[in-house]
Structure 1
């Protein structure tokens, strides 16, 4: 893109909320032969060129081809835009999307945006369970590598928890392992020792044979 630090990938879809609408940036996506799907803002100034036929039983209220009419926006983005209105029965909400993809079915465009919610849920899960607070690198490969390492570690611990029948949470297990990184004690023995230590510390009145 024009001096952009981010390179849009041809054929890729970029799904964003309405807060991210930047028509110059959307024009860059066009130039890179990539696609975008965004929520349309309420003050979205446009004129309808024509409408595509829709099956309203699917939740699609309309599928229009429009052009921007705002003074600045039409200069930044002179191309046609597809505008789709969708009723989400599950959430009982109406959404309006804009996209530069004119070939995919309107319902599929709406579904693509819904997948964005799943991605947000996934990243929320990552923050809560994998404790990734920041990424070590900014490249796609660096981010993917860090996520896969974290997910793999989580799954290994979850598997060990099940096999060893540990009653501790995965977070507690990770905390214990983080301070036992160089300990060669087998996991089942390590957690048995910790359970014994916890039992002793929680029973201060137990009989002491030796006062060391």
Structure 2
């Protein structure tokens, strides 16, 4: 039987060591390490994500048991105090920069979105993570409650997070959205929480298509002729204007055939069919599923440090792990879900076997051939 390194060792090869060391030197703070390094920190926190460790003590105990299998990864001996100190003091920008390097690698292999729209489609939303104010005093939200808000922009091609920011819980989504550098020719999809007509006008001037929903109390008036609906589920496709603004929208009134609920969509696109606008907005649900997945499967709700830097370090490493899982899914053409892929890696993380064999689909059961020797037992 040929030699195989552990699954964890093969996972670590996804993150090139020489590229990581360049980033670690660029973002290092303070004195040089004597018996520890940023690579050991990264691998330890990655193992915490993959194996769902509950605390630093739990993580360090797990690493100690697997010491003989971690040696070839280049990991230094890791203590709870050292790991806690490095998470608190060393800048999280190392892992943020690493994330965007890996994102480029993933995007090159991600499947294209399923719509006829030629440009990129970005799904925007934010989610709240509640925190204890006495433990995380920097996370101001209410008088007796702490929270932080995670803002995400998901690429519909492969559902990869291409924009991410962490702010205090009070910051509104639209403030973050205005700061995004969205490319011309792309499409951005968001819910009614991002309503800002001035921002809509800015997107239109920058040749960026948007798809959203109209607020129920919005004051609009019809402008020009109606378009002929391209689907029986489309009740109206009409140009509209907002009082006080010069530019025009398209309002599409659509009835979901499954639920019978009526929706009013707003877009600045003049080319997309009304039914496709509805389908693109429905795609926004994928970012809700993304939030649910990372909160349930990765450690982004409970943290192994209390400072803002430690929290951001853990978040960026969690996103790097998400990219790793997505990349393996793309390359192996894994038919299962990301949850199934994660469970498969968790159960075999210290096993010595080729990763490609682990991810390939099982052989289809064939017909059982009759053996003459079986007749001896009759």
TM range (shorter): 0.5 to 0.7
What residue number does 1:100 align with? 268
Is the counterpart of residue 19 in structure 1 residue 190 in structure 2? no
**For structure 1, which segment, 117-126 or 78-87, has the greater mean C-alpha deviation from structure 2 after superposition?**
117-126
Q: 8 Å contact 2:231–2:275 — kept in the other structure?
A: no
Q: 8 Å contact 2:300–2:314 — kept in the other structure?
A: no
C-alpha separation between the residues in 2 aligned to 1:136 and 1:187? 28
> Where does structure 2 lack aligned partners over 5 or more consecutive residues?
1-177, 302-310, 329-337, 353-378
Q: 8 Å contact 1:35–1:101 — kept in the other structure?
A: yes
Instruction: Name the TM-score, length of structure 2 as normaliser.
Output: 0.36
Instruction: Name the TM-score, length of structure 1 as normaliser.
Output: 0.62
C-alpha separation between the residues in 2 aligned to 1:160 and 1:106? 42
| Superposed CA offset, 1:62-112 (max 9, x none) | 10011112xxxx2xx420100000101222211001000011100000000
Is the counterpart of residue 158 in structure 1 residue 368 in structure 2? no
User: What secondary structure sits across from 2:284 in the alignment?
Assistant: helix
What residue number does 2:286 align with? 118
Is the counterpart of residue 53 in structure 1 residue 228 in structure 2? yes
Query: Which residues in structure 2 correspond to 1:70-149 (within 5 Å)?
Result: 74=244, 77-133=245-301, 136=313, 145=320, 147-149=322-324
Question: Residues 48 and 128 of structure 1: is their aligned pair in 2 closer, same or farther, counting only changes over 3 Å?
Answer: same
User: What secondary structure sits across from 1:113 in the alignment?
Assistant: helix
- Number of aligned positions between the proteins: 155
Is the counterpart of residue 65 in structure 1 residue 239 in structure 2? yes
User: What secondary structure sits across from 1:51 in the alignment?
Assistant: coil
Q: 8 Å contact 1:130–1:150 — kept in the other structure?
A: no
Question: Residues 22 and 142 of structure 1: is their aligned pair in 2 closer, same or farther, counting only changes over 3 Å?
Answer: farther
Q: Which runs of 4+ in 1 moved over 6 A?
A: 141-144
- Greater gyration radius: 1
C-alpha separation between the residues in 1 aligned to 2:240 and 2:267? 10
What residue number does 2:204 align with? 30
C-alpha separation between the residues in 1 aligned to 2:317 and 2:188? 20
